[in-house]
Structures are given as C-alpha cells and as structure tokens.
Amino acid sequence: MKKEISIFVLFKFFPGTLKIVLMDIKGKVILITGASSGIGASTAKAFDRKGAKIAMAARRLERLNILAADMHESLTLPVDMSDELQARKMVMDVIAHFGRLDVLINNAACIIVSPAATVSAEDLLMAFHTNLTGPVAATQEAWTQMRKQKSGHIINIGSPGFMMGIPFYSPYVCSKAAFSAWTRTIQSEWSGHGVFISEFFPGYVLTDSKPDSRIGDVDQDFLMSPNQNWLSRKFTKPASPDQIALQLIRLVNKPKTLVYSGFSVRLGAVISHFSGFRLSIARQMVETARMKMKSQGLI
C-alpha cells in the first residue's frame, strides 16, 4: 500500500518523473563533437555499429576521415568549437546533408593545465569559448531544428571536477561549471517541446590525449598515484572511452536528465559538499602533482 501511495505522489506532484522515453537508434542522425579521439571517437564507432547515421566534428579532419572509412554512413566536419560561427554552421551542415538531426552530443573540450596563481586570461577565455560558448551556439541551432521536428535529444558532457575543484585545471573546471549551469537552465526553459536535454558526468576517463600544459610536459594522470589513500584512489580510477560510449548508447535509448558514469562519480559529487573530504582528496592530488613535477625538474 505504501508503495502505491509513493508512486501516486510522484505522478501527482512531479509529473514526468517516471515518464520513460525510448528511442530506436537505427537510422537516427547523431552529431558528435570532439570525435577525432577519446570518448568522441569511441562513441561514434559504437553508434555506427547500432545503425545510426554519424556526423563527426573535430579540428583534425584527417583523424575523422580515418574513422569514417570504416563506417556505414557518416559525415566528417572540420570544426573548431571555440568559434561560434563554425559551431552554428556545423549543425546547419549536418541538417543540410541528412535532412534532420536527432541527437547532438556536446563532447569537445579544451583541457588546459595551469597553476591557479599564474593562469592567464587568454587560457581562461579559450576554455570558455571551447567548453561553453561554442557548445551553446551549437545547442541553439540544434534546438531550432529539433523543435521543428518535435523530437530530439541534446546530451551535454559535463565534468564533476568543478564540484571537487581539481587542482591545476582551473580553466577547464571553471568553464565546465558554467556549462552545467547552462545545461540545467535549458532543461527547464526548453521543456515541453519534445526535445530532451541530458547532462552526463563521465568522471575521469583515460584517453590517448595529453592535456595542453603550461607547466611542462605532463601526462594525463599526473594528479594520480597508487600511494594516495583509498578514497583518493577510488575517485581517480579511470574509465575507458569504450565504457563511456556504451553508457551514452543507453542514455540515447532511454533519455534521463542527469547521468553519472559510475557509483564512484556519483559518490564524489555527494562528498564534494563536505569540505573536509573534498579538500583531503584535492590536496593529495596537489602533493602528487608537485612530486611528479619536481622529479621532472619542472619546479
């Protein structure tokens, strides 16, 4: 009886809470930014295997063309997401080619490593252009088309790092915090038009790309160490791009408002509200980074 009452309350006071929307991926037009490597490349290949029509955008056209050679039906677009005009044209080109757009995955990101004490305005602006204003422009164009279709799905790849305050990544985490604010704004403002807006938090994903560093040549895992405490190691255990791609397929199949890629990512978001735990984890990252930089003669 209590279970039935709870379900009634959810439907009565939170309409849409239990609404299930299912999408058949086969034949759908899916646009993925940052598709030349990492999460973007793995996601493009995964959706191609499901029978989707794939549009891939990135700065490195040659990498996109290599991926496209093994796909069934694809479009490659050389795009710099820091340029708002290019971001808008990208969406229009996809619609002109395929006649529609069903899913936009805003995945492209600018990751700059820089000490907070010396981070430049130029680096902050570059991160904000790539991680916020470019995706906003693309999302606006996609929304215009999807609203006409009365269907569509926009997935914004966020980062839970802004909640934790990842050291040496201030341009990235600041811009991603702003992107989350944008995503959550349009989730309410654009509701009721048949277009679903999702926010996806992948956590730490190990890829073949190095960050754009201002402190010398550092690896992607330079904040991580097996000598950190259990809690820190738990939150810095990386996922693979292929794992994230499968989760994005499930998200398109069954859209949700917010998805964490794993339990540890969700738990990290909760722990970030407790300053003692949050600072303990982040300080261990700082100590690890400084030790590695010292061993490399970078400081």
Residues with catalytic function: 172
Neighbouring residues of 230: CB distance < 8 A, sequence distance ≥ 6: none
- 258-260 vs 195-201, strand pairing mode: parallel
25 neighbors 52 (Cβ within 8 angstroms): yes
What tokens appear for 192 in the block? 């009721």
What tokens appear for 107 in the block? 């995945």
Within 10 A of 13 (CB to CB), how many other CB atoms are there? 8
Give 8-21 as a DSSP string.
HHHHHHSTTTT---
Burial (CB < 10 A; 0-12, 13-18, 19+), residue 171, is: buried
197 neighbors 258 (Cβ within 8 angstroms): no
How far is it, in rounded angstroms, from Cα 190 to Cα 90?
22
